[in-house]
Amino acid sequence: MEPLTDSDVPAWWQRLGLPGLVDIHTHFLPERMMRRVWAHFDEAGPLIGRPWPIEYRWDQDRRLAHLRQMGVRRFTALTYAHRPGMAGDLTDFALDLSTTEPDCVPSATFFPEDGALSQVRSALDRGARVFKIHAQVGAFDLREPVLDDVWGLLSDAAVPVVVHVGSGPVPRAGFTGPDKLEGVLRRHPQLTAVVAHLGAPEYAEFLTLAERYPRVHLDTTMAFTDFFEEGAPFPAELLPRLAAMPDRVVLGSDFPNIPYPYVRQLEALERLCEREPLFDDDWLRAVCWFNGQRLIGH
């Protein structure tokens, strides 16, 4: 059988009886910054740890068109700051994009710095419906005091925050690990946190947080793909726990910053269902549409 290509994606979700896909973890950045991000991946530097060829090194219009051709009905413009003074401009870019591209969910970011609370409040007032932070790249601890009121505001607003705080692909001492998010959740137990990459490689610990806190979700970004399984395989003994929370797992892809075609993420999830009786098409439907629709799809 010929391997699937992205042109096969619409038939994939149509087989499940879905109207399309909702992807909570896609990236759009100002073009100059996107090129710098790609250059960083090309270097396979200390935060990447391995060769990582970018599959979709295209201009923004082509990337938008490709998502639509595949039937991704709702997607995000996740940005993240790596130093002070960047978050406001990145949020402006992402929110502006959503005004011209209505299938792009109004997205925003923040950084532990003076003024973070007012920036987040402003973003919410302008319609932000998902936030993203990246503790590994930003080199900060989620528990920094300047962020406490931010977490409280987002918790009250019930707006999801996609959080990359797992130690993959490379741990960053003092900034990554489940204890950082757990410290936030102890103070803000109703926070709608979406743990990127299922929390790789600390899968068990982040599953525990999702079991303990009712609004913690896990996104599938790169999980179960051949590329990810080589470096951070999901432990078989944890699969029953993952299957037990079908309403808390949501599709993410990392498009366009992935080293393989988009369809490979969907194939990986389908293979999981084929080999593990705990997972089935209803699980796929929840992950690829209903859970994301509930979080960001309105």
Say how far apart CA 24 and CA 251 lie, in whole Å. Answer: 6
User: Quick one: pLDDT at residue 157?
Assistant: 98
User: Quick one: pLDDT at residue 184?
Assistant: 98
Split at pLDDT 50, 70, 90, the class of 173 is: confident
Average pLDDT, the chain: 95
**What is the pTM (predicted TM-score) of this model?**
0.96
Our CA angle for 282, 204, 164, nearest 5°, is: 85
User: Quick one: pLDDT at residue 18?
Assistant: 98
Say how far apart CA 111 and CA 109 lie, in whole Å. Answer: 7
Q: Which domains does the chain have, with CATH numbers?
A: 6-296 (3.20.20.140)
Least confident of 47-61, 94-108, 224-238: 47-61
What b-and-e string marks burial along 190-210, b requiring 16 or more CB atoms within 10 Å of the CB? Answer: ebbbbbbbbbbbbbebbbbbb
User: Quick one: pLDDT at residue 297?
Assistant: 84
Split at pLDDT 50, 70, 90, the class of 1 is: low
**Inter-CA distances, 246 with 38, 192, 243, Å:** 33, 16, 6
pLDDT in tens, 11-28: 999 999 999 999 999 999
User: Quick one: pLDDT at residue 53?
Assistant: 93
Indicate if the pLDDT at residue 101 is higher than 90.
Answer: yes
